[in-house]
Structure 1
Amino acid sequence: MTTTPTRTEVLVVGAGPAGSAAAAWAARSGRDVVLADAAVFPRDKTCGDGLTPRAIAELIRLGLDDWLRAHTVNRGLRAHGFGQVLELPWPGGSLPDWGSAVARTELDDHLRTTALKSGAVGVEGAKAVDARVEGGRVRGVTFQRDGESFEIACERLIVADGVRSGLGKVLGRVWHKDTVYAVAGRCYVDSTQSDDPWISSHLELRGEEGEILSGYGWIFPLGGGQVNVGAGTLATTKRPAEVAIKPLMARYVEECRDGFGLQGEARLATSALLPMGGAVSGVAGPNWALIGDAAACVNPLNGEGIDYGLESGRFVVDLLDTDLSVTWPALLKEHYGEAFSIARRLAGVVTVPRVLPALGPAGMRSDWLMTLALRWMGNLVTDEDRDSAARVWRWAGRQSVRLEHRPPFT
């Protein structure tokens, strides 16, 4: 067994996609890096396991193209709802025109291994419980493992400990629940359609009494005879999600059993609460920053967070020599502020009763509208895109930010 480091230049807390990406990029830049996590890998994570083209682009940057293509590859989204089924290819453009899906047990373990191979030192089974702050800067983080406490001193700290972000709370992170959030669950089911080249989403998700819920269900083929099946609903403090997510998910599995070749019992059912759309404040200090789910970098319209985790892990490394209390919130607002603002505004509208039943059928009758919705809802618009759809999305985002009483990340 290796000795746990007592100090490092860059300490990354959390070895999910965001933390592992940050650790890999920091190590590749020549920095001394420690990557710590409360779990022992491989470990599970509540997630839909889907990898959109935006996530694929980041994984390719990390050199994982061949590894990804050895898994299932999908061409786009098959949307179901209101009597219609539409196959919507990934739009491509400046992003790859393909997606994938890899169980988080495997994905996160591989990303962590990639970071370690890049030069980071791994610490497992160590939960971050406190931070030593002197002169406004974090000088070290206290961990607990096997009933004992120890500290790792650091010059810079990257916090990637997930949606609850215990260390983020210690440092002053606040989640503003008046902004739309999600309650979601997933399970694994054997399927004869595990190699389907399309991920499927049911936009007409119904509750126990047949009412239309503000959310959607999904079936993501993983290959190897298995699919990820899940359901999620949107909520705000004004309109909370008054639904038990695991029973909803179980009912959804039964509804999809015949149409998707589902076989046997659902396994490993888990659920989670997701802050989204930058609905947190206190994301950075002079030498520390929150990234990925810890910074609520989750798309309010589809619950996707892997892509933003990977991106933010790469972005933060380029700013480590700056005053992160200034540069990091500014970068998050620049890259995600407008898109998150309009997305969470639209998601909030969907939580209003009768909106989805009124608009859903009209949208599903148009391939063009749904293709546009796929691109916008998936935030498959990059800074390089100059077409009319991208310009409209960015314009709407700018107008939305101007109307915010609390813009993303503030």
Structure 2
Amino acid sequence: MTSGPVAGETSHIPTETDVLVVGAGPAGSAAAIWAARRGYGVVLADAAVFPRDKTCGDGLTPRAIGELELLGLGDWIRERGVHRGVRLCGWRREVEFDWPGGSLPTISSAVPRIELDDKIRTTAVKVGAHMVEGAKAVRANRVDGRVQSVTFQTVGGDRTIACKTLVIADGVRSTLGKQLGRTWHRDTPYGVAVRAYVKSGRHDDPFITTYSELRDDSRKLRPGYGWVFPLSTGEVNIGLGYLATDKRPAHVALKPLLDSLVRQRRQDWQFDGPVHSVTSALLPLGGSVSTVAGPNWALLGDAAGCINPLNGEGIDYGLEAGRFLADLLGESDLTDAWPHLLRAHYGKAFSVGRRIAWLSMLPGVLALSGPPLLWSKILGRISIRVLGNLVTDEDVDLVARAWRTAGRGSLVLDRRAPFE
């Protein structure tokens, strides 16, 4: 197989493949890597020309680090800088916690998506995937429910690639997913996020920092959180996430709220100059997406709503799910197999996480629950672990068992389970 063509080199676009992956973010590129390693012919296509940016906090949790190591990128990520833990701030308190470890690595990192995504997708090319850039997927062509091919718009005209299996990892809006019936349900909490970059004298801080007490200039408490993630570039990623539902929409101007956060933290973080590259996004949280698969196609990553409802993180789920999906490529029908697998891995945590997120939006709840988490080191350690998606299937300790029990109970109460 040939490696990635530049945009417009339509003569290099294959006409057919075993596995067609639409979207070369972490989820799509991970799926391409694992499929290629299993011997499948893979085409990885994206509407952008790389390197390209994406709205994100850039944080890589210990769970994401573990997946990057499986992809062979452990040494590379350590060269980009690592963090030993998380610093929780709020209610006149700052507490630092090392990552708990256990079945997961004891480090985290933060790499701008313009670098991270390019690194993972070039890794996919190295193991055999054929990269097609500058190709926008506009139509999935089906016969009897099965996708036979996908039509792409390119600078050289429309091109069609036939496939045996289609993997859709085209982001939160998922244009291709919508064509196939994907529905994002906004009666459960969804995220509204904004991020920016700024030079910082503390860009080498060994902790990522979260601000659970998010207030605007009028000191009004908002149902979300802020963050500062140190980067190896001399800058930090600063941003905030806000929760909303259809019944409780986010009537807040994100840019002014970000400006408030920057002003409040400028001295602490030794910011040098103005923020730049300000972007925002909506995030489907906790598997709040239905119709995530069909006979020979499946949604992955943000397109499937695989985003933590408690911290807005989705890279680790995307990397993991890309690996899981590769194990199902031999299945004759993914319609039920894929959502069942997603629920088995994430259903309990997503269900209870959505309930906690919903509760945090109620007036007064955040002000009552926030201080104990900051003032009690025991509660703080537990919150870091469960809210940060650091409980794995291998963990059998009391906290892990309690978290899974809460998740099972929450699923029973769900009107619509994750991915249903």
Fold match by TM threshold 0.5: yes
Give the drift of 1:148: 2.3
Give the drift of 1:89: 1.1
TM-score by length of 2: 0.96
Give SS of 2:221's match. coil
Q: Note if contact 1:339-1:393 (Cα within 8 Å) is conserved in structure 2.
A: yes
Give SS of 1:259's match. helix
Give SS of 1:40's match. coil
Identify the residue that residue 282 of structure 1 maps to in structure 2: 291
Give SS of 1:248's match. helix
Q: Distance in 2 between matches of 1:193 and 1:327?
A: 46
TM-score by length of 1: 0.99
Identify the residue that residue 120 of structure 2 maps to in structure 1: 111
Identify the residue that residue 375 of structure 2 maps to in structure 1: 365
Q: 2:246 aligns with which of 237, 245, 248?
A: 237
Aligned partner letter, 2:178: K
Q: Distance in 2 between matches of 1:147 and 1:216?
A: 45
Identify the residue that residue 40 of structure 1 maps to in structure 2: 49
Give the drift of 1:209: 2.3
1:203 lines up with 2:212 in the alignment: yes
Runs of 4+ in 1 over 2 A off after TM superposition: none
Q: 1:250 aligns with which of 244, 248, 259?
A: 259
Q: 2:136 aligns with which of 116, 127, 131?
A: 127
Mapping of residues 9-408 of structure 1, within 5 Å? 9-146=18-155, 148-322=157-331, 323-408=333-418
Give the drift of 1:44: 0.2
Q: Note if contact 1:195-1:224 (Cα within 8 Å) is conserved in structure 2.
A: no
Q: Note if contact 1:189-1:263 (Cα within 8 Å) is conserved in structure 2.
A: yes
Sequence identity percentage: 60
Give the drift of 1:271: 0.2
Q: Distance in 2 between matches of 1:125 and 1:223?
A: 29
Give the drift of 1:147: 7.1
Aligned partner letter, 1:325: T
Aligned partner letter, 2:167: I
Q: Note if contact 2:372-2:379 (Cα within 8 Å) is conserved in structure 1.
A: no
Q: Distance in 1 between matches of 2:27 and 2:232?
A: 25
Deviations 1:331-364 (A, max 9, x none): 0010000100000110010011111011212221
Q: Distance in 2 between matches of 1:66 and 1:299?
A: 26
Q: Note if contact 1:6-1:151 (Cα within 8 Å) is conserved in structure 2.
A: yes
Aligned partner letter, 2:388: G
Deviations 1:287-322 (A, max 9, x none): 000010000000000000000000011100100111
Q: Distance in 2 between matches of 1:93 and 1:54?
A: 11
Q: Note if contact 2:216-2:261 (Cα within 8 Å) is conserved in structure 1.
A: no
**CA RMSD across the alignment:** 0.9
Give the drift of 1:247: 1.6
Structure 2: runs of 5+ lacking an equivalent: 1-8
Q: Distance in 1 between matches of 2:210 and 2:373?
A: 14
Aligned partner letter, 1:168: G
Give SS of 1:273's match. strand
Q: Distance in 2 between matches of 1:67 and 1:385?
A: 28
Aligned partner letter, 2:276: R
Give the drift of 1:150: 1.6
Q: Distance in 1 between matches of 2:113 and 2:212?
A: 24
- My pick for the range that moved more, 321-330 or 270-279, is 321-330
Q: Distance in 2 between matches of 1:273 and 1:33?
A: 30
The count of corresponding residues between Structure 1 and Structure 2 is 410
Q: Distance in 1 between matches of 2:353 and 2:141?
A: 37
Aligned partner letter, 1:56: I
